[in-house]
């Protein structure tokens, strides 16, 4: 299986898409080869500045702890643990997080072994060698191994509270589907979806996907930000939280960390959308539900 890189610099770096592509070999994607770390680091770009949040080892230590913590379980279980802690360790602005070069480097230069471990498919019945999708190393924010976790934490945290992120990342269909929705950038929408899962209104993968489709379709004709307004926000709490990385300790491994001290989502807005989305879901087609209803 792909191993931990033998060369880890002191700081994180940026790896362009074209440069990353040359390392996405069949040997790596099948877990049979390691990334040539020394060569890769020769073609990276340094992160601007010398801030503490650019240090590499806090991220690598976090990955090592995830690999140890979930070594005997299903790799998917690591998502809910790692997402909030990765977000709180990196302390990025959204603009910084939109730079694919950082995620390319995390996947290939810092933790290719984790990407292979987490995203290697089950052995195929036809005997073909299973292979990690290249998009887990270099891909869109909703598929790339580390970008998807960071954005899930950013979009589903409720102010400083990462609890909703754990709910989202515990349900793979939610993590895989909701991040693709434009409406999820509206905080009350994100929290209403989480609330419906926590209440058990939706629980299975089919139900979550049906709800997501219904919410996305409704957003084309109904402005959720008018129906359920969010609190006024400014960038100061996030900026202060990022600046505090200079003296912040390592994120806790047992308890959840705390995110930026932003105002929480208005409860009235969440409640409004919970009721609306529950109504949408009641009428949404869910494969298998019709048969169950007929039998009842």
Chain segment 206-250, per-residue pLDDT in tens: 999 999 999 999 998 889 999 999 998 888 999 999 999 999 999
pLDDT at position 126 is 82
Task: Compute the Cα dihedral for 138, 142, 143, 147 and give only its sign.
Answer: positive
Question: Per-residue pLDDT tens for 163-207?
Answer: 999 999 999 999 999 999 999 999 999 999 999 999 999 999 999
Global pTM value: 0.95
- HSE at residue 81, side-chain half, CA atoms within 13 A, is 19
Distances (CA, A) of 172 to 59, 131, 226: 23, 19, 30
């Amino acid at each position: 299986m792909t191993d931990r890189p033998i060369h880890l610099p002191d700081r994180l770096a940026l790896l362009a898409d074209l440069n990353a592509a040359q390392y996405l070999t069949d040997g790596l994607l099948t877990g049979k080869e390691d990334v040539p770390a020394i060569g890769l680091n020769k073609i990276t770009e340094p992160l601007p500045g010398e801030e503490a949040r650019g240090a590499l080892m806090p991220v690598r230590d976090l990955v090592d702890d995830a690999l140890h913590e979930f070594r005997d379980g299903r790799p998917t279980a690591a998502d809910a643990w790692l997402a909030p802690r990765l977000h709180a360790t990196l302390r990025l602005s959204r603009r910084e997080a939109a730079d694919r070069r950082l995620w390319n480097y995390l996947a290939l230069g810092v933790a290719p072994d984790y990407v292979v471990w987490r995203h290697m498919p089950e052995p195929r019945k036809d005997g073909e060698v299973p292979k990690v999708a290249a998009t887990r190393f270099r891909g869109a924010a909703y598929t790339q191994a580390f970008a998807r976790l960071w954005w899930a934490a950013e979009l589903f945290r409720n102010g400083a509270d990462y609890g909703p992120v754990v709910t989202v990342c515990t349900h793979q269909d939610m993590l895989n589907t909701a991040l693709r929705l434009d409406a999820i950038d509206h905080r009350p929408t994100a929290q209403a979806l989480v609330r419906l899962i926590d209440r058990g209104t939706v629980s299975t993968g089919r139900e979550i996907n049906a709800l997501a489709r219904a919410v996305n379709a409704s957003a084309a004709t109904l402005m959720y930000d008018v129906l359920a307004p969010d609190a006024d926000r400014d960038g100061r709490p996030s900026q202060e939280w990022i600046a505090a990385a200079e003296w912040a300790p390592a994120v806790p491994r047992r308890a959840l960390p705390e995110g930026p001290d932003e105002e929480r989502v208005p409860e009235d807005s969440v409640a409004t959308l919970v009721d609306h989305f529950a109504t949408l879901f009641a009428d949404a087609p869910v494969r298998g539900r019709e048969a169950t209803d007929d039998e009842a």
